[in-house]
Each structure stands twice: as C-alpha cells, then as structure tokens.
Structure 1
Amino acid sequence: MPRIVADWLADHVELPADLTTEQLAADLVRVGLEEEEIHPAAVSGPLVVGRVLEMTGEPQKNGKTINWCLVDVGPEHNATRITGVDDADVPAGGARGIVCGAHNFGVGDLVVVSLPGTVLPGGFAIASRKTYGHVSDGMICSTKELGLGEDHGGILVLTEAGFDAADLTPGQDAVALLGLGDEVLEINVTPDRGYAFSYRGVAREYAHSTGAAFTDRGLAEALPTAPPAATADGFAVAVDDTAPIDGQVGCDRFVTRIVRGIDPTAPTPPWMKRRLEGSGMRSISLAVDVTNYVMLDLGQPLHAYDLDAVTAPIVVRRAAPGERLTTLDDVDRALDTEDLLITDSPDGPGSRVLGLAGVMGGASSEVSAATTDVLVEAAHFDQVTVARTARRHKLPSEAAKRFERGVDPRLPAVAAQRVVDLLVELGGGTADPAVSDLDTTTTPAPLAMDVSLPTRTSGVPYTREQVVQILEQIGCTVAGDDTLTVTPPTWRPDLVEPAALVEEVVRIAGYDQIASVLPAAPGGRGLTPEQRIRRSVARALADAGLVEVLSYPFVGQQDLDALGLPADDPRRTALRLANPLAEDRPLMRTTLLVSLLDTARRNVSRGIDDVAVFEMGQVTRPVADAPAAPQLPVGVRPTPDQLEALAAATPDQPRRVAGVLTGNRVPAGWWGPGRPVDWADAVEAARTVADLAGAEVVVSNDPDHMPWHPGRCARFEVAGGDGEVRTVGHAGELHPKVLEELGLPRRTVAFEMDLSALVDAADGSPRVAAPVSAFPAAKEDFALVVDATVPAADVEAAVVAGAGELLERVELFDLFTGEQIGRGKKSLAYSVRLRAADRTLTAEDVRAARDGVVRVTAERVGAVLRG
C-alpha cells in the first residue's frame, strides 16, 4: 500500500501549515482512500549533528580496537557534568566522550550523534554507560541504526552522504535534517484506482476532498523543459506483438531518452533519499533512485538501462517457447509464451531478452557502479498482460502494481523528461537530443449517461450542474443536456460504464449525503425447512462438544492421494480452476474430509491433543461429460436459453456435514482417566445429523470405503421415493495408513453425511408427537444368539417386526461372546418395552409379542433364544 510523506505531497497540492497526519488521513478517507496505518516518527529525543574533535584508537584484549572520541555537539548539548559520573571523567571543554567501534570516519568529520534520552528505530534507547574503561556519553550512529538503510559497516558521515558542510553546525537537530521525525501515512487503495499509487494521484484526491489548490505535474506544461518531439535518430524501438491477450496489444507507447556522461559516483541527494525511504523504497544508486522517485511522484514506472549494454533496436514481443531470463533479483526464470518481453538485437532483432515488460528488468543490462551513459525507458503496457506475468512469476514489483491497475498513457514522455532533468542536475550528465516515441495510444471512449442516473441510483437529489461540475472536477470532458456525453481522463481507465461515473459523483459529493434508511422487512415464512435443519444440525453438533470450522474448498491432487482413494473413485473427478489462488491446490474439493482433516492435522501439530471439529459446506461433484459453460454477456440480462445452458453446465454442489475427532472424548481429571474417542462417537454424530434431518437411515458395515478402516466403517443409506437405496454418508475410524500419511494420531475417527440428500429423503411433513398412554408398560428382555457376522441392526429390525404394534421402544443393552455360546456366535441382549394406548396389557398380549419376537428373529437372522 502507498505511503505518503507530507512534504512530498505538498509539491502537488497546497497543505495547511498545521496539518496533522490524523487530519490528512481523515481528509483522504472522505474520498475513499482508507487509512491503513500511521507510522510514527522513526526517532525521538536529542539526535544532533556532531563534529569529531579527537579520536584515539585503543586496542583491546579481545583483539578489537575501539575509538575513544571527543565530539562537539554544540553549546546546548556539550557536557559540563554527567549524572553519576565523577567530574574527572568528563572530557575537557565539555565535548562529549563517546566510544565507537567503527573506523570509517576521522577527526573533523560531521556525524550524527544520539545523546542520552534518544530512542532509535526498534525502541533502542540511548543512555550514558561505562564501557571499555570510559563513560560513553551517547552514540555515533550508522545508517542502519538510524533506520535509513541496511549499511551497518560504518558511521554515517554527513558530507559523504551529500550534505554541504556549510549548512551543518554542531548541535543542529539531525531529526529534522534527516526527516526522521516525520509521521508517514499508509493508505489502502482499491484495485480500480491505480492513479492513487502516486503522489500526483493522492494530491488530486486531497484537492477533491478539501478544495485545496492542486498543481498537475503530470502535464508537459508543468515541466521546466518541455519534452522534445521524437527524432529520426532516436533509439530504435519496435513492437512485434503477434499474440495479444483479449485482442489488446501488449504495448501501445514506448519512449526512450538518453543521458550521457553521468558521474557514477554521484550520490543520491539526502532529500530524495529521505522521501524514497519514507515512501517505503530503499535507496540503491542515483540512476535507479531517480527512476523510482519519478514513478512514485507521477505514477509512471520507468527503467534505466546501461546504454553500453543495449543494442538497437529494442523489440517488444511475446516470449518464445523455451526462453529464459535472469531478472534483477538474480533468479533464472522459465518464460511463458504469454509473457511480454523487452529485447534487443546483439545477434538479430529481438534475439536477447532484457526484461519482463512492466514487471522487472534483466541482469544483463542493469545500471552498475561503472555506468556513465543511461538509456531511459518510459512505456505503457497492457494491464492484463502485466498482471498475468507478475502472478505467473510471483513478482509483485512496484512497476507491476501500477501497470496492472492502469497507468496514464500520456505520462511516458513527461516522466522521461523528469528523469532526464534530474540525472542532468544531480549526476552531471548531458541530455542526448535523440528521442524516440512510439505512440499508438487512443483517446478514451466517450460514455453516455442520463443526468438523473446518480439521483436514481443513490436517492440523493443531485442537480445537473452538480453532476457536471463533479465529473469535470475529476478530469472528464462533459457535453449534453439531459443525456451527458462524458469522456473520461486518460488516467482513469476504470471509468468504462455509466455506473462508474455515478460512483464518482456520489464519492466526491460525499457518501455522508446518502441517508441510512433500513428497508422495510417484507412479510414471509421465515427460514426454509432446509435452513432450519442446517441450523439444528450445527447447534446439535456444537452442543455435543464439536467446534465448527470453515476451511478453504481448494485442494490438490496430493490431498486426494493422502486419503488413499482408488484411481476410479468418483471423488477423484474434481473441477479444476482456470486461475487458482495456489498452483498446488487447483481443484475444488469433492469431499469435506479432504480439507477438514487438514484443519485437524494443523491443530494437532500445534499441541492440541483433544480435537473435535466439524464443518458444514458444499462440495463440487462434476460429471465427466458435462457441457462447457457458456460465456454470458455483460451489462444485459441473459436469455432464458443462456441461463438454462449455464445451469446445465454447473456441476452438482451438494451440501455436506463432516466431523473429525481425535484424542479424548471425555477429558481426564479428578473424576477419572477420561475416555478416548472411538468409532461409535463418529457413528453417533452421524445418527444425530440424520435424525435432525428427519430421514430414516439404515446402518450397515462398509468394508471398502477409503479413507475409513475396513472393519470399523458404517455406511448410512436411505430409501428414495422410487424404492432405490442411496448411500448418504459414512462414519467410523480412519484407516491407519491415512492417519500415518496425514500425521494424525491413531484411532482418529470421522464422519461425513450428505445433508442435501438427507433433506430430500425426509418426507418434509412436520413431526407430530405421539400421544402418551396412561396405561402401564410391560417389559421383556431377550438374549438372542446369532452368527457373529450378523449385523446388530438386522437383529433389531427383526425384533421390531416381531413385537408388532404394541412395541414402544427397543434397546440393545448387552453384547456377549464366549465359549459358552459357541465359537463364531454372539449374544445380543435387547430390552423391549410394550404398551397399549387404550388398555392395560394382558398376559396373553405380552406372550403373543414375545412369541412373535422369537419367531421372526429366528426366520430372518437365525436367532436362537439364549437359555
């Protein structure tokens, strides 16, 4: 986000003398530039200029040599007495005695001294202290200690940094001299307002907000020297874009200028360095700093080449297959055929790559410490091309940030002239009369807007005069009466439709004029049945101790592999995104568990032993032979046929609910050792989901459904209206190999249910409470011996069928295996409660129900009543 140094902003717009950073932020917020952060002053306390009077080297036992320095810090700061120190230890003449370990300065040098009470960047407080046998009464500072750069190798000598000795006196305030006392405002700029990534643009917005006088320094007439016209001997440039993106050629303007005879040792002046660093950019060299300075000032990215390392002509073209480039960050990059390149011709036109257009230059032609002749590039590149290249190569450079948001195509010649003027003034160079300006730009297309549209859209009664005045204020040309013909300014490529013009009118007039009126709530039936079920399920799982989470629906092939899914598993058929946020996660999830298990793993890896999480969300289940989605028109309502085609191409997106549990289900404490989770907890949670959905489910074992354990996985099925049985979920313990692959503890359990299918399977009618009988119940217990392979659910179903209409409740209360009942057998004990609604049951009624249970269980599951 852009950082704003107030005195630099004042070059473009008139600022009040008493303007605070907080007030500046409030003024910019009024026109939509939100405050991100106010960065406080880098230094507080007495930081002053000092002159070194004496300097004595003193070797130490550790092999290091320190310098004992006497420094004149001015009459107001020179020491006469130091609290807690004997007078004999105070240097003669009142000069400050300071111990320093650096050796790049000498007697007579003007340096920066932080006196006791100074707080340097990073909260480093300075105090008098005894060290190396002396009382060091302050510190002589390096560039890094002052927060002005990364150079920690030596002391900042002011005259070597570009300051004139005649303007410096001992005791002078170094905070103001170095600009270290300035607060810096960082603002948040929306993607459609790229012009605000410059002081020119921010100043314009400040003028809109306050009415302050604005000077547009992006105009040719604002320069001391007008940009010259192109000459026949200008550095040759050609655009050979044979593969434009969306029909837009990658480069429509390219200006070059040449400056010769620059002093390669010329330093960047302190005022420029201070402004650059205050704006978040570090100083590199004069030529590079000048291009960065003009970019921040006007918003036009520029590039400086070593003229001796470039051969005419420059050719702007797309990359060829297999081409590579080492960029300025010393990274060797494989280029894509969509990348727009800057090339020259050592072995033929366009044969050598110099850089990624609008993103970053190459190392082969960069300006070095020996460069004396500079070729300046100021160009205008296609937004989409630059944005895709920057994301493809993960290079969010300052230039790319501006080009992808839109740069004023009128700026290249003006910005190049500014660079030339600064290099001549500060580097002692000479401007070459040769100029090239390849220009195929077009003027912005005019827009037609009904003058009443802002009023009809916002509800604020704007007059025609007010609408026209605001549009002209932001740089538009306006003609017409009831229907306005509006031509946007070149620096506003975002103004492409009437709605954008309406937004500008509302924004400049003030959002506070729009009344905050709550719309009347129309009468309705409240939540839909499915919405009520979703809320009930979420509430029930939370009440059961599970924590609801939300995870990203983007997964990779490696995530599906970790679940051990077979190659032909339908869950491997996933929708691939055309422009994924991460290259390793380009797929839409087909199961909630793939992302929920990653959430559980992350919690476990951070030391949380007992994890119980659930998620409710949609999955995407595409069909292999589904038709391609149509490209719908923008700005008009699609036709019914187009909407039908879109619906046909949209993959199924059922809503599911899943949970993962690991560790203890009941925590250990004074009440006991606790209880670890097991497969039954996952099955119970899944049953809760089905019960709240109102669906009758059948539970059975599923021995082959990854990622669950083959012997501890329950399958949930429902019967559809057509009698077809449909699987709606699974629950149980996860496969050991999956747990090992994901780094989850042993015995971790999970469930996943298709909530959409459960809602569809429910009959939808409201549940009616059964009347409570006033007659007593009869209880019977049955211990039924069956084969060990018979599911308990089948036995229970047989008990229900045999008990008949008198059955009120059946409950399994015991499972027994042992030699007493025979190998391969198990005993299931059920408690059966019988009750009639209209009478007290007789012994005959109970006997008939009991006989029915014994008979039906024997017929269906081969059960034998245990004696």
Structure 2
Amino acid sequence: MRVPVSWLRDYADLPEGVTARDLAAALVGLGLEVETVDSVGADISGPIAVGRVLSIEELTGFKKPIRYCRVDVGAANGTGEPQNIVCGARNFGEGDLVVVALPGAVLPGGFAISSRKTYGRLSEGMICSAAELELWEDHTGIVVLPDGGAEPGEDAYGLLGLREDVLDIAVTPDRGYALSMRGVAREAATAYGTAFRDPADVEAAGTPGTGYPAEIADGEACDRFVLRDLSGFDPAAPTPLWIKRRLGLVGIRSVSLAVDVTNYVMWELGQPLHAFDRTKLTGTVVVRRAQEGERLETLDHVVRDLDPDDILITDESGPISIAGTMGGLNSEVDETSTELVVEAAHFSAPGTARMGRRHALHSEASRRFERGVDRELPLPASARAVELLRRLGGGAPGGLTHAERPASGPRPVAIAADHPDRVAGVAYGRERVVRRLEQVGCTVEEEDADGLRVTPPTWRPDLTDPNDLAEEVVRIEGYDNIPSIRPRAPAGRGLTAGQRLRRSVGRRLAATGFTEVLTYPFTGERDLDGLQVPADDARRDALRLSNPLSEDEPLLRTTLLPGLLKTLVRNVGRGFNDVALFETALVYIPRPGAPERAPMLRVDRGPTPEERESLARALPDQPRRVGAVLAGDREPGGWRGPGSPVTWADAIETAREVARSANAELVVRAAQYAPWHPGRCAALYVRIGGEERLAGHAGELHPRAVAAYGLPERTVAVEIDLDAVEEAGGPATAPRVSGYPVALQDVALVVEEGVPAADVEGALRAGAGDLLEDVRLFDVYTGEQVGEGRRSLAYTLRFRAPDRTLEAEEIAGARDAAVAAAAERTGAALRA
C-alpha cells in the first residue's frame, strides 16, 4: 500500500515539521509495517515552470514532424522574454499552458537541460511530458495544463507535486482497513493525537429502488449490493492532473475519467468500485454463484471457465463480472459510454480469496475484499464516486438501488477494564483504556464497576475477543513502553531429553561443516515423482491440505528430502558448488483408519473428551527426522592438492554422527530404496530392546533423481528418524582409560564379494571378547591374488586390559577367536 504523505494530510492534521520518516516511525510504533520511504522526484532540480505557447512554426525537411515554439515563461528565466524551444510533440497548440524545463534544470535519470542547437534552431529548454517528469505513465505527448489553473512563470514543483514523499506499507491480512488512505490517516491521527477527517463522511443521497434493478441471490456470497446511475456523462472528459498524479504515486495507470475515479475512491476509502456501461446491461443485475459450464472474458482479455463456487455479477445475458475481482469485457466502460452504473458491494472475504487462487487472478479490489471491507462503505463510496464523476465529467445523478441481506453486525465484546493491564504488565487505568478503544473506533459502554462492553467498528472485523481489544490498547500506548522483565525460571525445570538431543545433533553437524536450513512442510506429487518414489510407496499416502498456499504443493511432507534438495539446487544456482545442508523437522504420516477431514473445534470453550479423542484420531503421526544433503567437495582443493568429493560414505558417516549424539549404536546394511542409487544405498538400523529397528537410509542419490531435481552429479543424502535414535540411545558414560599398553594386531580376511564388511566386523567383535577395544577397517583389496568374486578386508584390532599388561599368548588367543568367529559366521579365511 503506497501512501503519499500530502494525500494523507487531507484527512489527518499532522503536526508541522513532521517528516515522512518521522511519520513512518510513528506508524511502525502502531504496528504498521512501513517498508520504505520513497522520496519521489528527489533527483529533479533547477527551474521548471509553467509556460504559455505563443506561436508554433512547423519545421520541414526532417524525418519526423518538428515544431519551433515561442513560449512565455514569465519571469522564470530572469529576463521575461519568451523562450524558443524545439519540440516534436503534437498534442498541444498555440495558447496552451505547458510545463517547461529551463536551462539548468535536471530531470529524472540525471538528464540535464541546456540551450543547444538542434534541427537548425537554438532550443532554450524543453517542453515536458508526464513520462519525462515521471508524473504518471503516459506516452501521448506533453503535459497540457488546464486554463485558469496557473500563470506563465509559476513554479511547477508545487503545482504538479513533482517532489513527494511516499510510504510503502506492507499490510498484514488482519489489517485490511489500512489498504486505504482513510485507514492509514486514522492511524496517523491516533499516533499524534490530532484531528481526523473521515472521507467517508459524505451524504449518501438517493432513494433506494429508483435505480437500475438488482437483487442478491446468494446471501452468503454478498450481503450488500449498491448501484447508482449517472446519465449524460461526457466520456471525453479528461482526468484532472491532481487525480492522475495521485494515482501515479500509488502505482495505478490512468485509463479514463470513469475508471480513474473508481480507482481513486477505492484508494481513498478502501471500497472497491466498478463502473458498468448501462446500455450494455440487459435485465436485472443479480449476484449469484456460477453455474456449471459458464464462461466469462474478463478485462484482461482472458476467457475463464467458471467454477460453481465463484461469485458472479450477472444480468440476463449471463456473467458480466467476477465479483470483487475483475469486470467482464462485454460490459466495460469505453470511450462512447455516456450512461454509467456505479457498483459497490460487500462480498464474502473467503469466497473472494478462493476465486483469486482458483483463477490465479489477483487485483487491487480482490486484495481488499480478501482482508475484509467495511460493510457500511458501499453507500457513501458510491455516492462519493458519482459526485466526482458529475463534477469532473458532467451528467446528472440518477436513481439508487440498494439490495441487502440481513447480516450480523459487529458483536459486542465484554472485557474487564484491567485486562489490557494484565496482558501487558502495565497499569494503564480504566480511563486510558476507554480512550484508546474509542480512538480505534469502538463504542465503549460501562457494563459494571469492573467491566466494559465494547462494540468494534465495522471496519475492524478482526476485533472479536478481549485479547484483540487489549492488543489495540497496548499498541497505541506503545510496545516500547512495556518494560522488559526477565522471566524467572522455576527450580528443577530445564530442557527435556529430546530438546537436549536436538541441540546436540545441531551442534555436532554444524561442527562438521553442515549449515542448518528450515524448509516449508509442503510438497506435491511432482516432488515425489522426482524422487522416483514407486506408486505403491507409503510416502505417497500424504495428507492433503484443504486450503494450500500453492496448488503445486497441496500435501504435507512425508520425507524431508524434497525441501532439502530444492534448497541445495538454489544454493548451487547462486554459485555455491560445495554445499552441506541439514534440517531437523517433523514429517506427517497419516494413521490407518483416520477420518478424511479433521474436526473443527469451537473456540468459545475447551474441547470435550469426545472432541479431543476425535481430533487425536484425525491427527497424523509426526515423527521427528534429521535430513542432510551434500554435493561438491567435502574438503576443498588448494595448493596441497585437489579436493575430496563427497561420496556415499560421507552420508553414512553423517548418520553415525547423529547416532553418536544420542549415544546409540548404528547398524549399517546394504539396501535398495528410492531415491538412492541401488548399489550405493545403506539401510540404517538402531537396536532397541535387543531388536533392530529401521531408522533411515543414506547414500548416493539415483541418477534419475539427480536429473529430475537438477542436482550436481553424485549428490548424496541421508534421512534418519531422530525419535528412533533417541529411543535407542542412553545416557553418555565416560570411557574408562587404562594405563596399560595397547596391543595392535592386523588381520586380512578373504570373503565372498557379497558379504558386507559390517557383518565381518560384527563377527570379529563378538569373537574377540572383552579384551577388544576397537576394530577398524583400513584396506579393501580385489584382484588376482584373492580370486574372482572375492575380496580381502584388512582390519586393525586393538587389545587392552584395564588391570594388566597383556601377555603374547592372551593377544594371540583373542585374535584367533575373532578370526574363528568371522570364519564361522561369514565364511572368511585368513589371507596368506
């Protein structure tokens, strides 16, 4: 929402000397998000004045028409003599008032004006167009000022508003009233405690039932619909410069007087309007839902297939407008329209929002309706628009049609007078609470000695309970006036075991070079297709959102990998080729037999046991997982040599780091599981209660998955169930350090190529007994010496006793027992 400060001052008496940045800080203090303060025209300088064209000489012999003009600029040039200016525009004549940039002026973009010879004549300045001054979007020619509005030599800066401060406000969904000068001016007046003049305080004249016939067929879609007639309008009447300039400052293109006025009033009051050509309407105008098979070509020249949930404005010919969003091409106002019907209505906010997402059609009108428009605005807003059209374009106001369905107004809210005090921890007092609520626009009545009965204004549909009202008091009093008091932690409380584990995992992975990311929990079928997930895979059984943010991602994730892989691609696309990312987050697994939709609980009381049980049945299982992806070099190259590219082993080691954080034992076995490469995928198991449980997978991604996501080659990933790891873990115990020497024994075992190294290691550990301190694989060999289809695995065994120095016989016996166990379990044989 762009807010020109000069326009704001029409409705709020801001103190003298208040700058745009002061105003922005005050509005931020009230909770409005002022993103920027733009100084429009700050790069314009030098003499720019009003001039009157005295004579025009047409120059010939050039590729385009050129005119040599004598322009009276009064005393602006210091001499009073007319200026001679060469100009190629054709939309002005002798006697017209124009805007002249004299030598020494600088226009937007650093364009300096000087006297120079061109087309064989000396040009002493420039006659300016709106585009050259960046007033508004216009390519029809130079600016022609109306007679009587200025005199030659008058400074053009103030006349045209060449320099203007504009606030750019990001309006949150609950503050729809701030999408208008009316709403922001009320906030500004509240911030400075000055007078506010409501632009909606106009006489909404007219007798209902005397205008173009209209009715409401669906009361849930629309509860108020107003039509006002205007006859004898001059379609050629120009839009005044002050309206064009204000629309240009807020980013709206000037189209015609009829369209510009409806846009102007929408920005002024926050009520979207639409003007129909009365001669193009047939029969009664009806607000209803769309019927199956109906279509409408909207003003953007797109033919849209309508949904039965769409809200339409129709006549006997069919749809003529998508309500609250965009009008139809068949009833638009054009350059011949003299009979106008101005429409203003109050449409359903959820219905308008659904239409916008369904048709990917968003407009300034729908943006306001989605956030909630004041139900009392259609009458005064339509009256304001018709009056402006009459004053600027002629014609006679006609009849009024006012159709409405009963609608519940704002509900009174009972609130304790000291409730804001208790919420903020500040003693505001009853009088200040009442005064602040009245500044918001509420009607406050004394309910009893301790309570108030507050009726919110119609433009604040978000004020529905005592906490909403307390927030209004607190924000106007100033969030920065709330004292900072450190909460006192109760004794014996602290982080849970799960919280400590999550922090430990995060610190450990960050210490090993990973960067933590947070991704959205939404996904789509296309993401799972890219992972090469089979059609019957349980990960495709995902919860579907009723109201997704994006139609491409309507599902809750069952795996962390899509979000991580998209983030990896984005980083690589920004030039970061060596990337290691991790995320700790929930996935959502539907429970068997769960209802298709979760129940909607009431908010005016706590849930009953039956409601809690039904909600629990509908909620999915939400295990916490750790996901990580790596690409590029694990260790960067340099003068020491080339870098070390990531491999499947790095993914497995990442999983081991997670397990070490919980003091859990991780068992790794070869597996095949999408999206991992079938020959470079490991299944990760943890031991819980003496049994092994599958906790996740790690390894190199399948080439098809790499291609589908546009990943770097040989990208690796890991996903592991942190809840299972936590359950398998236990309290960390300090290792016993022996002061006696260690004995090292190397053994090389030849096994069949399909025997996992982990099985051989497990057999060695089991056979070696208590004297074994550690086993480490240090070499893998395949070749003629061990035979085809076999490989040699070389291990270092570390033996140590806690209470003595081991004898040679003890060491040899333990080594031989380990080798024997490996031979018995895996068929291993000592390599000669």
Query: Does the pair score TM above 0.5?
Result: yes
Verify the 8 A CA contact 2:214 2:401 in the aligned structure 1: no
**1:573, 1:624 within 8 Å by CA — same for their partners in 2?**
no
1:199 is aligned, of 177, 181, 196, to 181
Give identity over the alignment, percent. 56
- Output one character per residue of 1:727-762: Cα deviation in whole Å (capped at 9) or x when no partner: 112222211222222222332222222122111111
Q: Please tell me whether residue 391 in structure 1 is matched to residue 369 in structure 2.
A: no
1:688 aligns with 2:657: yes
Task: Measure, in 1, the Cα distance between the counterparts of 2:649 and 2:112.
Answer: 61
Quote the residue 1:90 is aligned against: none
- 1:78 Cα deviation from its structure 2 partner: 5.7
1-structure distance, mates of 2:675, 2:390: 70
Cα distance, 1:476–1:121 mapped onto 2, change above 3 Å: farther
Q: Provide the C-alpha distance between the structure 2 equivalents of 1:740 and 1:382, rounded to a whole number of angstroms.
A: 45
Is 2:710 aligned against 1:756? no
Secondary structure of the residue that 2:785 maps to in structure 1?
helix
Deviations, residues 50-75 of structure 1 (Å, cap 9, x unaligned)? 334555555677x3454454544333
Task: Note if 1:324 corresponds to 2:306.
Answer: no
**Structure 1: distance between partners of 2:607 and 2:530:** 42
2:755 aligns to what? 790
Q: Does 1:75 align with 2:87?
A: no
Q: Residue type matched to 1:143 in 2?
A: A
Q: CA deviation at 1:529?
A: 2.7
Task: State yes or no: 1:305 paired with 2:264.
Answer: no
Q: Matched residues in 2 for 1:185 and 1:344: separation? A: 41
For 1:513-552, what aligned pairs fall within 5 Å after superposition? 513-552=481-520
Match of 1:48 in 2: 49
Whether the aligned pair in 1 keeps the contact of 2:750 and 2:828 (CA below 8 Å) is yes
Q: Structure 1 residues 384 and 725, CA, compared in 2 at 3 Å: closer, same or farther?
A: same
Deviation string, structure 1 residues 787-842 (Cα, Å, up to 9, x no partner): 11111111112222222221122222222221122221111111212222222222
The residue aligned with 1:339 is: 310
Question: Matched residues in 2 for 1:442 and 1:715: separation?
Answer: 60
Counterpart check, 1:274 vs 2:275: no
- Per-residue CA distance 1:112-142 (angstroms, 9 max, x = gap): 2223444434554445566556665433222
Q: 1:741 to 1:373 in 2, by over 3 A?
A: same
Cα distance change, pair 662–447 in 1 and its aligned pair in 2 (3 A): closer
Q: 1:310 to 1:532 in 2, by over 3 A?
A: same
Find the counterpart in structure 2 of residue 488 from structure 1.
Answer: 456
> Cα–Cα, structure 1 residues 598 and 202, in superposed 2: closer, same or farther, change >3 Å?
closer
Alpha-carbon distance in 2 for matches of 1:835, 1:54:
110
* Residue 439 to residue 125, structure 1, CA distance change in 2 (3 Å): farther
CA spacing shift, 1:288–1:800, aligned 2, 3 Å: same
The 1:134/1:521 distance shift into structure 2, 3 A limit, reads farther
Whole-Å separation in 2 of the counterparts to 1:442 and 1:842: 93
Q: Distance in 1 between matches of 2:609 and 2:295?
A: 48
Pairing partner for 2:427 from 455, 458, 461: 461
Distance 1:33 1:148 in 2: 27
**In structure 1, what is the Cα distance between the partners aligned to 2:256 and 2:818?**
94
Per-residue displacement from partner, 1:643-701 (whole Å, max 9, x unpaired)?
34323322122222222222222322211122222222222222222222211121111
Q: Structure 1 length as normaliser, TM-score?
A: 0.90
User: Residue deviations 1:59-116, cap 9 Å, x none?
Assistant: 677x34544545443333268xxxxxxxxxxxxx965454434333344433222234
- SS state of the match for residue 206, structure 1? helix
Cα separation, 2, equivalents of 1:758 and 1:534: 11
Cα distance in 1, alignment partners of residues 403 and 811 from structure 2: 104
- Inter-partner Cα distance in structure 1 for 2:341 and 2:35: 37
| Secondary structure of the corresponding residue to residue 218 of structure 1 | coil
1:237–1:438: 8 Å Cα contact kept in structure 2?
no
Aligned runs of 1:25-44 on 2, under 5 Å? Answer: 25-42=24-41, 44=44
| Alignment partner, residue 142 of structure 1 | 129
Distance 1:539 1:626 in 2: 37
Aligned AA (1:73): V
Q: Which amino acid letter does the alignment assign opposite residue 112 of structure 1?
A: V
1:648 to 598, 617, 622: 617
Choose from 463, 476, 481 the match for 2:443: 476
Q: Is the partner of 2:76 in helix, strand or coil? A: coil
The alpha-carbon deviation at position 8 of structure 1 amounts to 3.1
Partner of 2:581: 613
1:116-135 equivalences under 5 Å are 116-127=103-114
Contact 2:651/2:698 (<8 A) preserved:
yes
Q: CA deviation at 1:152?
A: 2.3
Aligned to 1:230: 208
SS of alignment partner, residue 821 of structure 1: coil
TM-fit CA distance, 1:260: 0.5
SS at match of 1:805: coil
Q: Deviation digits for residues 495-536 of structure 1, max 9, x if unmatched?
A: 222222222333344445433322223334533333232223
**CA distance in 2 between partners of 1:131 and 1:418 (Å):** 49
Unaligned residue ranges in structure 1 (runs of 5+): 80-92, 347-351
Contact 1:13–1:214 (8 Å) recurs in 2: yes
Conservation of the 8 A alpha-carbon contact between 2:663 and 2:732: no
Match of 2:781 in 1: 816
1:168-187 equivalent positions in 2, closer than 5 A: 168-187=150-169
Structure 1 residue 421 displacement after superposition? 1.8
- The 3 A distance-change label for structure 1 pair 41 and 597 is closer
CA gap of 1:690–1:472, structure 2 versus 1, over 3 A, is closer
Kept in 2, the 8 Å contact 1:306–1:365? The answer is yes
Secondary structure in 2 matching 1:39: strand
The match for 1:728 is 695
Provide the rounded CA distance (Å) in 2 between the counterparts of 1:757 and 1:107. Answer: 87
Offset of 1:370 from its aligned partner? 0.4
| Alpha carbons 2:212, 2:399 under 8 Å: kept | no
Q: What is the TM-score with the length of structure 2 in the denominator?
A: 0.94
Letter in 2 for 1:583: E
Distance 1:693 1:339 in 2: 54
CA distance in 2, matches of 1:218, 1:623: 54
Q: Give the drift of 1:227.
A: 0.9
Say which SS state the counterpart of residue 826 (structure 1) adopts.
strand
Q: Provide the residue aligned with 1:293 in structure 2.
A: 264
Q: Residue type of the partner of 1:821?
A: V
Once structures 1 and 2 are overlaid, which stretch shifts more, 304-313 or 380-389?
380-389
Is 1:213 equivalent to 2:178 in the alignment?
no
CA distance in 2, matches of 1:749, 1:365: 59
> Aligned equivalents of 2:580 and 2:764: distance in 1?
35
Q: CA RMSD in A?
A: 2.5
Q: Is the 8 A contact 2:67 2:88 kept in 1?
A: yes
Match of 1:83 in 2: none
Tell me, in whole angstroms, the C-alpha distance in 2 between the residues paired with 1:749 and 1:682: 6
From the superposition, tell whether residues 342 and 657 of structure 1 become closer, same or farther in structure 2 (CA, over 3 Å): same
For 1:36 and 1:854, the matched residues in 2 are separated by 71
Q: 1:199 to 1:742 in 2, by over 3 A?
A: closer
